[in-house]
Amino acid sequence: MAKSIDVSDLNIYYSDFLAVEGVNMTIKARSVTALIGPSGCGKSTFLRTLNRMHEVIPGARVEGKVAVDGQSLYDASIDPVEVRRMIGMVFQRPNPFPTMSIYENVLAGLRLNNKKLSKSDADAVVERSLQAANLWNEVKDRLNKPGMGLSGGQQQRLCIARAIAVEPQVLLMDEPCSALDPISTSAVEDLIHELKEQYTIVIVTHNMQQAARVSEDTAFFNLAATGKPGRLVEMNPTKKIFSVPDEEATEAYISGRFG
C-alpha cells in the first residue's frame, strides 16, 4: 500500500521569491528518508510540497512535478484535500485540538471527514492508533480527558496517532522531535522504526544522529549562497552519506565544518 514518491525539477516559490530550486529525488516506499541541512535551506518547504500543504500559505506555489506512484500531485484534476488524506503530516510543535479529548483527537481525521463509525469500530481505531503510537498504556484510563493535558512528548505521539488513524500511505514528519526531551525522542524514534513496516516516511531533522539512527536514505539540502535558493546537494543511502559522501559540502556539514 505504501507509495513511493518521484520528484522532478521542482521549483518552490513564495510569491516571486524562489525558495528551493531544481529538486530531483526518488523516495522509496516502506522506508525512512531523512532530510537534513542548515536552517532556512528549504527542507520543511520541500516537505510541505509533498502533500500540498505548501499552498496553504498565501502566494506560495510550485513548478515541476511531484508524482506519487505515477500520479502527478499538481495536476489540475487533483483535489488537494484527497492528497492530504493519502499523505499525512506530523508537525514540529505538537498541535492536538484543544476542544477535543484524547479519544476525539485520535478520531478527528475520520470524524471530520464524515466517516460513520460504530462505537466499537471507533474504539478499535483509537486503540490501534494509540498502540501504534506507543501511547496506549499511558492514556488508556483517561481517554476522555483533554488532549492538551498531556506532556509535550505525549502530545506529539497523540498527533502521530491522529495522523495514522486515517491510514495514510505516506507520513511526513517536520522535525517531530525538536520540542521533545531525549526520552520522548527515543519513544518517537522507536515508533518510526515500527511504522516504516507499513508507511513511507519522510522526516526533516536537525539532529544528524537522529537521521543516522532512523533513516535508510538521507538527502542533504543547502543554500548555494546567502540569498540564493536552497537546493538538493546530495541524496544517498544514509550509511554512505555519513561515511563517504559524494560531495565536499555534505562532508563539511556532517563533520561540523561549514562551507
Q: Which residues contact 41 (CB under 8 A, 6 or more apart)?
A: 221, 222, 223, 230
The set of cell numbers assigned to 52 is: 500540498
**206 part of the interface to another protein, by CB under 8 A:** no
**51 part of the interface to another protein, by CB under 8 A:** yes
Q: Which is nearer to another protein, 2 or 163 (CB)?
A: 163
* Near another protein in 28-47, by CB under 8 A: none
**181 part of the interface to another protein, by CB under 8 A:** no
Looking at residue 172, its amino acid is: L
Give CA separation, 78 vs 13, 66, 123, in Å.
20, 12, 32
Q: Which is nearer to another protein, 173 or 249 (CB)?
A: 173
Q: In the β-sheet with 170-174, what is the strand arrangement from edge to edge?
A: 71-72, 60-68, 5-14, 17-27, 230-237, 217-223, 32-36, 200-204, 170-174, 87-90
Q: According to CB under 8 A, which one of 76, 81, 183, 225 is a site residue for another protein? A: 81
Segment contacting another protein (CB under 8 A): 14-22, 76-84, 189-197, 227-235?
76-84
**93 part of the interface to another protein, by CB under 8 A:** yes
Q: Which residues pair with 101 in a beta bridge?
A: 146
Q: According to CB under 8 A, which one of 69, 71, 112, 239 is a site residue for another protein? A: 112
Segment contacting another protein (CB under 8 A): 17-25, 39-47, 80-88, 123-131?
80-88
Q: According to CB under 8 A, which one of 161, 166, 188, 249 is a site residue for another protein? A: 166
Helix segments in the chain, DSSP class H? 43-49, 80-86, 102-112, 119-132, 136-139, 152-165, 182-195, 208-214, 238-243, 248-254
Q: According to CB under 8 A, which one of 28, 140, 145, 193 is a site residue for another protein? A: 145
Q: According to CB under 8 A, which one of 113, 131, 243, 255 is a site residue for another protein? A: 113
Q: According to CB under 8 A, which one of 18, 148, 208, 252 is a site residue for another protein? A: 148
Q: What is the spatial distance between Cα 248 and Cα 1, in angstroms, rounded to a whole number?
A: 37
**204 part of the interface to another protein, by CB under 8 A:** no
**159 part of the interface to another protein, by CB under 8 A:** yes
Nearest to 189 by CA among 34, 5, 4: 34
- The site for another protein (CB under 8 A) is made up of 51, 53, 56, 58, 81-86, 88-89, 91, 93, 95-99, 101, 108-109, 112-113, 145-150, 159, 162-163, 166
